[in-house]
Structure 1
Amino acid sequence: MNNVIQKGWRPTSVLILLLLFWELSSRWMGIPEWLLPAPTAIVQEGISGWSAYAPHLFSTIRLTLTGFTIGSAVGLAVATLLHLIPKVREAVYPLLILSQNIPIIVLAPLLVIWFGFGVLPKLIIIVLVCFFPIAVATMDGFRQTKNEYIHYMKMAGATQSQIFRKVEWPYALPSIFSGLKISATYSVMGAVISEWLGANKGIGVYMTLASSSFRTDRVFVAIFFIMMLSLLFFLLITQLEKWATRWKGENARG
């Protein structure tokens, strides 16, 4: 705890100084609120406007969690398949790399044309954003398993399935969680981008309506919640990683 406080006071101090400079500059220079509202005005809008943006926030959370769950499952399944079947990996992996060169913002209108304005194209966007980091990180984790452990398991008569479950999968967990943490932050932005396509509710919709009516304070409120959601998902997965990889600490103490 003390270590966290010692490391955290510097960035916290810088953040406070930046907010103070922002507040004073907005007041002294007379910047219009529609152009750049002061932090206090943003906080006031965030508190007073809760009833207006709460449904949008909860809609984005549901969409993000659904898309992230599906994207994670697809990424893990694809990575496992490509790892266990090398010939499939040689044929498919280059195509996965090429698929990431297609900008999501360009692909999104096509998804709307193909699948309409329902929830399906939005989920596809989030899945595409989440799936690749998880798949690549998982495959890298499988490859980083120490050869002597695999050799020992083979000498003990273990099958390929047992080697995967008892050696390769546990030692790939840190890499898997690295991919999950990256995808968790991407998933929120993917949800917001998908909501720009024509949703009825969501932070993306709230932000679009606010910017079109020059309510810059509401735009900053939306940005704040996007950042907080991304940070919250990141921290949750970090805690889950500590629980899932606690065996490494036990081995180190042993």
Structure 2
Amino acid sequence: MILVSLYPFRVDRSNSIHTTLTIVKKLDGKVAVVTGASKGIGAEIAKHLAGEGAAVVVNYASSKEGADRVVDEIVSTGGKAIAVQANVAKKAEIQQLFAETKQAFGKLDILVNNAGIYEFSPLEGITEEHFYKQFDLNVLGLLLTSQQAVKSFGEEGGSIINISSIVSTLTPANSLVYNATKAAVDAITKSLAKELGSRNIRVNSINPGMVETEGARTAGITESEGRRQVEAITPLGRIGQPHDIAPAVVFLASSDSAWITGETLYITGGLY
């Protein structure tokens, strides 16, 4: 009879009486920073990374309660995590985020640029405030966190995973600025992959379709006619859930994707 394990493992035979099996997780010994991780997709990513053995820094801008809840859930299941407040549109706060990461865990291997904001407006409603609010966080913030992460990665390199969006190519109406920020993220991903590849730093992006999150529910998106229209043209017939996105982040953070960089992975239920 052949026994097949779903997980890799090590066998410890040092004790002559007992033999123990130690499950080897994909991210054992790794340290990850996940921005915007107090809820939604970011929270699920943090929990999945921790579930595969990574120590996780749960970044948040304002929701300390949410971030603490994510940390508590990780720690209660045997993982390692801390919550760190930082507005990742501000360089000084980003520097503090990474300083606290180093102080807590000593190094960095993975950065997930998940923090982002969206506001919808037709052309005539666009203002400077509307533009800069989204570009400062979605684009400049991503660049500044990546800049700091590169300084923090060791000689073995690291993995940067950018959470973009299907809107970068689907380009729905009345979201001009948001669409533009995510198109910028896609371009940055490809450019950084080329720039950083010689240092063994991989850069990839994940572009989700519509996902049911706390923010989407608060904005009324998940109960809207727009949701029904999206589901009607989506081959798999539904919008996504945060747990549909997180496993792909684990893959791109792990050695399973060691020869993948500069790629954009669409997770959309087949909608393009």
TM-score bracket for the superposition, by shorter chain length:
under 0.3
Higher strand share: 2
TM-score under structure 2 length normalisation: 0.26
TM-score under structure 1 length normalisation: 0.27
- Higher RCO, 1 vs 2 (CA within 8 Å, ≥6 residues apart): 1
Higher helix share: 1
Greater C-alpha Rg: 1
